[in-house]
Amino acid sequence: MAESSDVKVLGSWPSPFVLRARIALHLKSVNYEYVEENLESKSELLLKSNPVHKKVPVLLHGGNSISESLIIVQYIEEVWSSAAPSILPSNPYERAISRFWAAYVDDKWFNALRATLLAEGEEAKKAALAQVEEGLALFEEEYEKLSKGKPFFGGDEIGYLDIAIGCFLVWIQVIEKFSEMKLIDEANTPRLFQWADGFSSHVAVKDVLPDVEALAQFGLKLRAKFLKTPQ
């Protein structure tokens, strides 16, 4: 394992964004301490480390704190650049494209994914599911271009865009369970179907993915809490 110099990740187990930081560290073989946060009663360490957003994940390294999951992934790539594999593509154009799609995931697609769980009424849920499927169709098309026939968006190894999308795979399974429909399958998204299997079973990923049933129960509680809150 690479030298850690006292690396910690402040996280919460259901968060797909926390997974990004952990997967990146695993890819770089960096030893780290994972600290589970109770987001109902946030620790002083979390509030001090991320005073602006007060959210997880936070990476603590060498006395510094880094927030926002994609920024953390890029930081890990730069600090442990000598440790294989490279997370970001070496080609400037491919690196820009990966960042573009990662931004699309966070700025647009995640909102639709979240809405499938929290939307009120069948019409709102259907509209959100349609947006999720539209995004998956785009990912299917982009995967063919970026992977160049290899197992991952990043090529032979998991890369930046794999992490950006793959962190949501268990939540997609939860939404499939609730909606009783398949979002990623061999018929409609054959390339993503194979990619998802390879990503989830990767040594850097499989041990940090949450259990589907546990996440489904968390999702039900989250929905109940959201619907009780005045909008």
What per-residue confidence (pLDDT) applies to 230? 61
Quote the CA–CA distance of 182 and 220 in Å, as a whole number.
19
For the segment(s) 7-80, the CATH number from 3.20.190.10, 3.40.190.10, 3.30.950.10, 3.40.30.10 is 3.40.30.10
For the segment(s) 92-226, the CATH number from 3.30.300.90, 1.20.1050.10, 1.10.287.130, 2.30.110.10 is 1.20.1050.10
Give the Å distances, CA to CA, from 198 to 70, 113, 151, 192.
Answer: 21, 22, 7, 10
pLDDT at 2 over 60: no
Quote the CA–CA distance of 70 and 106 in Å, as a whole number.
9
What per-residue confidence (pLDDT) applies to 4? 52
CATH 1.20.1050.10 in the chain, residue ranges: 92-226
- Tell me which DSSP letter residue 15 carries: -
Percent of residues, the chain, with pLDDT higher than 90: 93
157-171 burial: b if 16+ Cβ within 10 Å, else e = bbbbbbbbbbbbbbb
Regarding beta strands 58-61 and 64-67, do their DSSP bridges make them parallel or antiparallel, or are they unpaired? antiparallel
Q: Can you tell me the mean pLDDT for 106-133? A: 95
Query: pTM of the full predicted structure?
Result: 0.95
Determine the number of helices (DSSP H) and then strands (DSSP E) in the chain. Answer: 10, 4
Confidence grade of residue 228 (pLDDT, cut at 50, 70, 90): confident
